[in-house]
């Protein structure tokens, strides 16, 4: 307010002179106001121009003017002095204007300078930021990195880091031997995965550096060496039976062959040495050593013996015996290598007339038929028992349709080319051979090899009848010699049977185990009944004629097993099969039928005594085509020859 006050005073002082000055004074005062700090200063400079008294008077005038008093008497200045004062003020006006302009210019310069300074500051900040960014980049490229085996993984995912690290190795290690070559898997992959799991389990720490621990790669190297050995190792082959001389009845033996074995320890160490030298594309030559067979041919010949044998009795039927002879000839000398599966049907082939097989009685779906090869089931059943006593494993076995006569029911093996088969596997470590011998009526089959069972250990089958089955429906025949509705039983029905078979193992004559082996079922026989349902009864003359015709037909029927047309239907008048008789001490593993109604162990390895043969039942034991699907035998329950299966 003092600045306005002085300006007002100035305007009032100029009122007695010229009004233009007053205007100039206002302008000056206004500029001083615009400048901010120049209002009192301008007034002060005017007062100083009048002298100290003038300044005092002016100040008094100001104070008087402020108090509201005015009048000419209060101004004691002479007119000359006052005029000089006005001139001074007039001459000072341009200076004030120039000063104000200078101040404005100064302010503008300062403003520009300030803006320039701010621009420089902003530029400096940008430069600082750029410098800082460059510094950060340098730090990221330097101390702010996280490296694994020299690879910066900062900002990479774990999988991307893994790939980047593995790529730098350029892994191409190989193992060779002669013309063989195989690649070695990267030994450090597992260790790298383990390391990255630990690194990425928490936030990456800039400046950290990691390396894979290659000091603990032995297990990985051994695993790779084992893979190579598994592909290239050649197992030494022992000598064994190479053939059978049918003239001399002896088997021939051949020497084995050496094997090749990779030195896995040496190979693993060579891999580790290459890794230690960072030679990741090294080509390593595998070290191999030869391995000799365990035994020579001469040693094997001494160890081979009969390890299982079985004997059955055949009939006097020439056709049936010829079929048995041909089947035995096809089996004799057969060699089954370790792990090999044997098939009776595949070994003997189809039983055809072209091969010399004769028509003999067989069953097809319960009906009597004449088929080439009838009777070969006795061969397969005899072999079945020999295989069991040798300690081998059967894989397929099928019971007959009707109870067999030459072996204990439950211990038979029916076969039919294209149908049921008998199979087993050589579970021993050496080849085995099948040896057959047939001289009617005795059939013997033996297994020749190195003993499978421990010394003093024997295996046998033991079968027991577990129940009866209802016989099939009766078969009726019209007989008009009978009174109306009269029936006459010509032949009683025979019930079927079921048998349970067990594998019994003994050690030095003491039973050590008894395991269920399989069940077998056999069909019964229908009753034959005559009756008259016609209501007509023939005269005595007709009876006589019919009786004569019947006698003529009966005369053509076989009186014993093995009639003119082969093994015919059973019934009264058919002689039973006679068990074989053994003279002298039986050979090791020999089995011959003895004690009726029981199954007992023999005296030697593999020896077995079957139940005494029963009365033949309509061509049992003969081959027949088709009829049912075989069930596995051996160490699992075997198939049963139930109704509808093949009768053999």
608-618 pLDDT, tens digit each: 434 433 333 33
pLDDT tens profile 40-92 = 333 333 333 433 333 333 333 333 333 344 344 343 334 444 444 444 554 55
Whether residue 564 is predicted with pLDDT greater than 50 in this model: the reply is no
CA distance 588 to 309: 8
Give the residues across from 103 on adjacent strands: none
Q: Report the helix count and the strand count for the chain, using DSSP H and E.
A: 13, 27
Contact 286, 320 (CB under 8 A): no
The alpha-carbon radius of gyration of the chain (Å, integer) is 63
User: Looking at per-residue confidence, does 131 or 338 come out higher?
Assistant: 338
Tokens standing for residue 103: 């101040």
Whether residue 509 is predicted with pLDDT greater than 70 in this model: the reply is yes
CA-nearest of 475, 487, 474 to 532 is 487
Summarize the confidence of residues 252-273 as an average pLDDT. Answer: 92
Per-residue model confidence (pLDDT) at position 78: 41
Per-residue model confidence (pLDDT) at position 311: 98
Whether residue 418 is predicted with pLDDT greater than 80 in this model: the reply is yes
CA-nearest of 341, 344, 337, 339 to 241 is 337
Whether residue 123 is predicted with pLDDT greater than 70 in this model: the reply is no
Whether residue 574 is predicted with pLDDT greater than 50 in this model: the reply is no
Long-range Cβ contact pairs of 93-97 (< 8 A, separation 24 or more): 93/21, 93/24, 93/25, 93/28, 96/28, 96/31, 96/32, 96/42, 97/27, 97/28, 97/31
Per-residue model confidence (pLDDT) at position 514: 97
pLDDT band, residue 557 (cuts 50/70/90)? very low
CA-nearest of 563, 579, 583 to 571 is 563
Per-residue model confidence (pLDDT) at position 630: 34
Tokens standing for residue 18: 């010229």
Sheet holding 335-336, edge to edge: 305-313, 442-449, 432-439, 335-336
pLDDT band, residue 104 (cuts 50/70/90)? confident
Q: Is 509 helix (H, G, I), strand (E, B) or coil?
A: coil
Per-residue model confidence (pLDDT) at position 115: 61
Per-residue model confidence (pLDDT) at position 239: 78
What ranges do the domains of the chain cover?
2-68+76-138, 143-250+259-297, 304-467+578-609
Could you give the dihedral angle defined by the CA atoms of residues 576, 579, 581 and 587, in that order, rounded to the nearest 10 degrees? 150
Summarize the confidence of residues 586-608 as an average pLDDT. Answer: 37
pLDDT tens profile 511-549 = 999 999 999 999 999 999 999 999 899 875 544 444 444
Per-residue model confidence (pLDDT) at position 237: 84
Per-residue model confidence (pLDDT) at position 190: 86
DSSP structural state of residue 401 = S
Per-residue model confidence (pLDDT) at position 26: 38
Per-residue model confidence (pLDDT) at position 246: 81
Cis peptide bond upstream of 268, omega within 30: no
Per-residue model confidence (pLDDT) at position 161: 92
CA-nearest of 495, 117, 606, 582 to 313 is 582
Per-residue model confidence (pLDDT) at position 27: 35
Per-residue model confidence (pLDDT) at position 368: 76
pLDDT tens profile 389-398 = 999 999 999 9
Rounded mean pLDDT of the chain? 73
Summarize the confidence of residues 332-350 as an average pLDDT. Answer: 96
pLDDT tens profile 242-261 = 888 888 888 899 888 999 99
Among the residues of 453-499, which ranges form H helices?
none
Tokens standing for residue 418: 């294209």
Contact 147, 153 (CB under 8 A): yes
Contact 397, 633 (CB under 8 A): yes
Whether residue 22 is predicted with pLDDT greater than 70 in this model: the reply is no
pLDDT band, residue 13 (cuts 50/70/90)? very low
Please calculate the CA angle 556-558-563 and round it to the nearest 5 degrees. 110
Beta strand 367-372 with 359-364 is antiparallel
DSSP structural state of residue 154 = T
Q: What's this model's pTM, rounded to 2 decimal places?
A: 0.52
User: Looking at per-residue confidence, does 198 or 552 come out higher?
Assistant: 198
Phi, psi at 502, each rounded to 5° = -125, 150
Task: Indicate the range of 106-120, 247-261, 586-600 predicted with least confidence.
Answer: 586-600
pLDDT band, residue 586 (cuts 50/70/90)? very low
pLDDT band, residue 116 (cuts 50/70/90)? low
pLDDT tens profile 213-240 = 877 889 899 999 999 999 999 888 877 8
CA distance 233 to 263: 10
- Looking at domain 143-250+259-297, its CATH architecture is Roll (3.10)
pLDDT band, residue 95 (cuts 50/70/90)? low
Residue whose entry in the numeric block shows the structure tokens 């000063």: 99
CA-nearest of 423, 334, 385, 490 to 633 is 423
CA separation, residue 613 to residues 312, 384, 407, 495, 599 (Å) = 10, 17, 7, 18, 12
Summarize the confidence of residues 146-154 as an average pLDDT. Answer: 89
Summarize the confidence of residues 568-579 as an average pLDDT. Answer: 32
* DSSP code string of 571-635: -TTPPPPPPP---SSPPTT-----STT--EE-SSTT-EEPPPP----SSTT---S--S--B--TT
Task: Indicate the range of 294-303, 493-502, 570-579 predicted with least confidence.
Answer: 570-579
Tokens standing for residue 336: 């089954």
Summarize the confidence of residues 130-152 as an average pLDDT. Answer: 61
Whether residue 367 is predicted with pLDDT greater than 60 in this model: the reply is yes
């Amino acid at each position: 307010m003092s600045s306005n006050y002085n300006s007002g005073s100035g305007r009032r002082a100029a009122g007695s002179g010229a009004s233009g000055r007053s205007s100039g004074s206002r302008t000056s005062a206004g500029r001083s106001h615009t400048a901010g700090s120049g209002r009192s200063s301008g007034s002060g400079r005017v007062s100083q121009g009048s002298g100290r008294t003038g300044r005092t008077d002016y100040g008094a005038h100001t104070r008087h003017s402020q108090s509201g008093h005015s009048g000419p008497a209060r101004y004691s200045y002479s007119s000359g002095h006052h005029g000089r004062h006005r001139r001074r003020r007039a001459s000072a006006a341009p200076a004030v204007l120039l000063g104000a302009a200078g101040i404005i210019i100064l302010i503008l310069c300062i403003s520009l300078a300030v803006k320039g300074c701010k621009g420089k500051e902003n530029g400096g900040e940008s430069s600082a930021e750029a410098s800082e960014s460059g510094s950060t980049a340098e730090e990221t490229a330097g101390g702010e990195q996280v490296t694994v085996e020299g690879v910066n993984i900062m900002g990479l995912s774990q999988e991307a880091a893994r790939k980047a690290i593995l790529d730098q190795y350029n892994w191409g290690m190989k193992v060779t031997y002669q013309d063989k070559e195989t690649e070695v898997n990267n030994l450090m992959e597992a260790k790298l995965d383990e390391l990255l799991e630990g690194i990425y389990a928490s936030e990456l720490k800039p400046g950290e550096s990691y390396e894979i621990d290659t000091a603990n790669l032995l297990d990985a190297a051994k695993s790779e060496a084992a893979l190579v050995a598994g592909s290239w190792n050649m197992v030494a082959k022992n000598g064994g039976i190479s053939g059978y001389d049918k003239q001399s009845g002896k088997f021939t033996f051949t020497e084995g062959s050496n094997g090749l074995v990779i030195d896995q320890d040496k190979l693993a160490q060579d891999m580790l040495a290459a890794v230690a030298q960072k030679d990741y594309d090294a080509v390593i030559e595998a070290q191999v050593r030869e391995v000799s067979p365990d035994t020579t041919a001469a040693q094997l010949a001494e160890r081979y013996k009969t390890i299982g044998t079985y004997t059955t009795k055949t009939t006097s039927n020439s056709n049936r015996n010829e079929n048995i002879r041909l089947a035995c000839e096809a089996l004799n000398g057969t060699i089954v290598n370790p792990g090999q599966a044997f098939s009776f049907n595949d070994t003997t082939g189809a039983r055809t007339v072209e091969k010399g097989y004769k028509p003999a009685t067989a069953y097809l779906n319960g009906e009597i038929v004449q088929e080439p090869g009838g009777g070969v089931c006795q061969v397969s059943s005899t072999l079945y028992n020999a295989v069991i006593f040798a300690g081998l494993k059967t894989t397929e076995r099928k019971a007959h349709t009707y109870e067999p006569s030459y072996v204990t029911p439950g211990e038979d093996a029916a076969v039919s080319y294209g149908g049921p088969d008998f199979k087993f596997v050589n579970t021993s470590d050496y080849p085995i051979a099948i040896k057959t011998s047939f001289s009617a009526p005795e059939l013997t089959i033996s297994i020749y090899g190195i003993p499978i069972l421990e010394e003093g250990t024997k295996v046998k089958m033991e079968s027991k009848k577990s129940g009866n089955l209802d016989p099939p429906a009766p078969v009726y025949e019209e007989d008009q010699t009978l009174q109306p509705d009269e029936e006459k039983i010509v032949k009683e029905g025979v019930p079927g049977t079921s048998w349970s078979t067990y594998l019994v193992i003994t050690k030095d004559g003491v039973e050590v185990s008894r395991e269920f082996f399989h069940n077998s079922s056999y069909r019964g026989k229908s009753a034959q009944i005559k009756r008259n349902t016609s209501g007509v009864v023939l005269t005595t003359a007709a009876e006589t004629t019919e009786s004569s015709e019947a006698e003529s037909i009966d005369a053509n029927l076989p009186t014993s097993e093995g009639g003119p047309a082969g093994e015919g239907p059973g019934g009264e008048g058919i002689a039973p099969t006679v068990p074989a008789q053994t003279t002298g001490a039986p050979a090791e593993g020999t089995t011959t039928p003895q004690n009726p109604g029981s199954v007992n162990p023999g005296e030697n390895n593999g020896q077995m005594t079957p139940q005494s043969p029963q009365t033949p039942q309509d061509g049992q034991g003969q081959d027949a085509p088709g009829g049912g699907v075989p069930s596995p035998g051996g160490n699992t329950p075997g198939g049963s020859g139930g109704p509808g299966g093949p009768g053999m």
